[in-house]
Amino acid sequence: MNESLLRELVPAVIGVLVRRGADFAPAEDAVQEALIRALGSWPADPPRDPKAWLISAAWRRFLDAARADASRRDRELAVELEPPAGPVPVTDDTLRLYFLCAHPSLPAPAAVALTLRAVGGLTTRQIAAAHLVPEATMAQRISRAKRRIAGLPLDQPGDLGTVLRVLYLVFNEGYGGSIDLAAEAIRLTRQLVALTDEPEVAGLLALMLLHHARRASRTGPGGRLVPLGAQDRSRWDTALIGEGVAILQSALARDRLGEYQAQAAIAALHADARTVEETDWVQIVEWYDELLRLTGSPVVRLNRTVAIGEADGPRAGLAALAEVPTDLPRYAAVSAYLHERAGDLARAAELYAEASRGAASVPERDHLTREAARVRQLFRP
């Protein structure tokens, strides 16, 4: 059984139940129950029409739940119980579900979890394992999210920017348990590309592919973090890089630049360099200028200082860093790197140690601690 193909049917099945009169939350619950049944029974007895089977099973589950609620009896009797006799109509509600699950009223963790359930077709157990939290915790998160958007119509216009941010959050979650969230985000974004005609969606897909292409080289023995400049580029996935660059070029040709296209252009320039010395830092600075113009983000301004330090020298990078808020995550790490490049090793060691204490993850903390120790060795008499 192709589990990925099965999950791709979930948004369409939810859409059918909603059009039949079910509210989103009970419809999504019913489809999840049907999905769990399918995962258990299909390997031994696969149906001729998987979509029709899921619709029938989910609708029966919805009606079973509705019978416990007298206020829903009229809705229950209004729709024929039997599965459709002919082919299921091709009506794709996936895009609407993207917008609903990424509703601006939802906090980011809830939007991510709900998107993975309703659009990605993952079970609560799979999502919990991927996020390394108890299943009960994830179930509560999803339940709260569904209550938050209860009553919102499926055809309400949504914000594509919010959908893209949620998908990028999914991608950045990485992977854990049996579900690779980075790969799942790429699958969902490919799906969204097929449903829309927006270059920014293609830009996000290109960005994901270009980052994912470097995945095998990002960690060393024992899970050690390997920074970009030290990665073994022979381990980069050239097929993913080629696909990402082609998608990006097609998006840029539309002349509707957005932040994900600009980020992808920076990633493409890194991917194009056969060695770290061949990196075109001047062009990268230019793309950071575009990205800063588009977003005004202080994080972008911080990352831009590294590129300036490489293109124009560490003193220029430190001058640019003086214009960046000092309370940003990774500020101390960037400052340490630029001070080391400028020859101020004592200050660099102090800053690496400071950065390690504020690191967001154990691998990052360990990497910065090792950097502090390495630099101390360089200036000891």
Model confidence pLDDT, tens digit, residues 207-263:
999 999 999 999 998 889 999 999 999 999 999 999 999 999 999 999 999 999 999
What is the pLDDT, as a whole number, of residue 69?
Answer: 61
Q: Please give the Cα distance from 378 to 344 (Å, whole number).
A: 11
Distances in Å between the alpha carbon of 32 and those of 2, 57, 58, 99, 171? 17, 10, 8, 19, 23
In this prediction, residue 87 has a pLDDT band, given cuts at 50, 70 and 90, of very low
Q: What is the pLDDT of residue 1?
A: 56
What pLDDT does residue 3 have?
75
Contact 115, 98 (CB under 8 A): yes
Distance CA 140, CA 143 (A): 5
Element (H, E) at 179: strand 179-180
Tell which wins on pLDDT, 110 or 130: 110
Q: What does pTM read for this prediction?
A: 0.80
pLDDT tens by residue, 16-56: 888 888 888 888 899 988 888 888 888 888 888 888 999 99
Residue 155 binned pLDDT confidence (cut-offs 50, 70, 90): low
Quote the pLDDT of residue 16: 87
Q: pLDDT class for 154, splitting at 50, 70, 90?
A: low
Q: Please identify which residue in the block is written with the tokens 């022979």.
A: 234
How many CB atoms are closer than 10 A to CB 185?
A: 27
Q: Is the pLDDT of residue 170 over 90?
A: no
Given a cut of 90, whether residue 133 has pLDDT beyond it is: no
Q: How confident is the model at residue 122 (pLDDT cuts 50, 70, 90)?
A: confident
Give residue 43's pLDDT. Answer: 82
Q: Which residue has the higher pLDDT, 336 or 184?
A: 336
Question: Which has the minimum average pLDDT: 61-65, 83-87, 253-257?
Answer: 83-87
Average pLDDT on 290-300 reads 96
Give one word for 368, left, alpha or beta, with left for phi > 0 and alpha for psi -120 to 50. Answer: alpha
What integer best gives the mean pLDDT of the chain? 87
The number of beta carbons lying within 10 Å of the beta carbon of residue 135 is 14
Residues 92 and 12 sit within 8 Å (Cβ to Cβ): yes
Q: How would residue 2 be classed by pLDDT, with cut points 50, 70 and 90?
A: low
- On the question of pLDDT at 156 being above 80, the answer is no
Handedness of CA 194, 200, 204, 209 (dihedral sign): positive
Q: Rounded distance, CA 99 to CA 300, Å?
A: 27
pLDDT exceeds cutoff 70 at 66: yes
Q: Which two tokens stand for residue 319?
A: 């001058």
Percent pLDDT > 70 in the chain is 89
Q: With residue 243 as reference, give the H or E element that holds it.
A: helix 238-252
What span, in angstroms and rounded, lies between the C-alpha atoms of 144 and 98? 17
Q: Please tell me the predicted confidence (pLDDT) of residue 81.
A: 42
pLDDT digits (tens, 9 = 90+) for 328-378: 989 999 999 999 999 999 999 999 999 999 998 888 999 999 999 999 998
* 95 or 116, greater pLDDT: 116
Q: Is the pLDDT of residue 301 over 70?
A: yes
Mean pLDDT value of segment 292-317: 97
- Which is nearest to 98 in space by CA: 232, 204, 2, 226? 204
